[in-house]
């Protein structure tokens, strides 16, 4: 107990003898030893960043930086392959445009020519329907020597058809139709399968006929007797070939019984050629074939 009291008394004596100022200086000395600079309680004034300082002799002062414009961006070059493809596309579009313009010009020209053809046929049939002239032509049927002859104009008509509006609305075909009638008739006999073959031929040629049939007990056709009237139906179609800039003439029974086709250059369709065709219709001497493409 005495020892504790002695230690407490010694501790209180140490505390009373402690020099706080000497301890603080000692700490500053230790701190200066490790930081390299002595502590100072002096106050330093604040310096503004915008303060003016006198220029230092012999030292060039820096200039204010000049704004530099951003470099221009060069267009990207894609190389020769894409350039070639672009040129090819441009050339093809040019060719397509040229072809389209040529096609439009050809359609317009064919439309004008076929309108002239229709006007001519309309006037021709109107006059011939009134006059009903003789037509100097003979039509031989198959291998018979008994021709359709002494034919006269009975009746004719003309018509035309146009393209759809979205395709341009141009005239694409003109039709001339007429009937020639003679005073006679003829009788043709056929047996077995030849009966139906002759019936089909007469039907395809547009000839008027009557047929008396003979059948056996099994209702099989054995024989046919045909009466064919001297009447010829003629049809001529003038069709525009827009791609080739020509007029295709398709006819049935025009110069002879049967079908025929010829082609006319666009430039050949003119009043003189139409007059030659009119002479051909009437069976007169003409030079229509000289206008036909070879």
Regions of the chain with pLDDT less than 50 = 38-42, 44, 49-51, 53, 56, 59
Long-range CB contact pairs, 217-224, < 8 A, 24+: 221/192, 221/195, 221/196, 222/191, 222/192, 223/189, 223/190, 223/191, 223/192, 223/195, 224/189, 224/190, 224/191, 224/195, 224/198, 224/199
pTM above 0.75?
no
**pLDDT tens sequence across 38-61:** 444 445 455 554 445 455 455 455
Structural domain boundaries of the chain? 99-291
**pLDDT tens sequence across 210-221:** 999 999 888 888
Q: What is the pLDDT of residue 44?
A: 47
């Amino acid at each position: 107990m005495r020892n504790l009291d002695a230690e407490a008394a010694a501790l209180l004596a140490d505390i009373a003898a402690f020099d706080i100022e000497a301890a603080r200086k000692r700490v500053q000395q230790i701190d200066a030893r490790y930081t390299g600079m002595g502590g100072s309680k002096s106050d330093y004034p604040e310096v503004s960043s915008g303060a003016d300082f006198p220029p230092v002799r012999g030292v060039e002062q820096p200039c204010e930086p000049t704004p530099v414009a951003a470099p221009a961006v060069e267009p990207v070059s894609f190389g020769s392959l894409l350039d070639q493809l672009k040129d090819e596309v441009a050339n093809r579009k040019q060719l397509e445009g040229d072809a389209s313009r040529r096609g439009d010009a050809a359609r317009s020209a064919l439309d004008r020519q076929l309108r002239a053809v229709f006007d001519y046929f309309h006037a021709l049939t109107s006059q011939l329907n009134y006059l009903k002239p003789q037509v100097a032509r003979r039509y031989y049927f198959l291998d018979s020597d008994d021709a359709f002859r002494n034919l006269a104009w009975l009746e004719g008509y003309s018509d035309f058809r146009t393209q759809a509006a979205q395709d341009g609305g141009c005239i694409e075909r003109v039709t001339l139709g007429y009937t020639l009638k003679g005073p006679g008739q003829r009788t043709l006999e056929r047996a077995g399968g030849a009966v139906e073959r002759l019936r089909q031929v007469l039907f395809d040629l547009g000839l008027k006929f009557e047929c008396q049939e003979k059948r056996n007990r099994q209702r099989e056709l054995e024989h046919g007797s045909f009466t064919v009237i001297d009447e010829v139906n003629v049809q001529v179609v003038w069709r525009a070939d827009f791609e080739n800039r020509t007029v295709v003439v398709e006819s049935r029974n025009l110069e002879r019984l049967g079908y025929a086709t010829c082609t006319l250059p666009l430039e050949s369709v003119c009043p003189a050629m139409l007059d030659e065709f009119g002479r051909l219709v009437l069976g007169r001497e003409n030079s229509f074939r000289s206008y036909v493409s070879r």
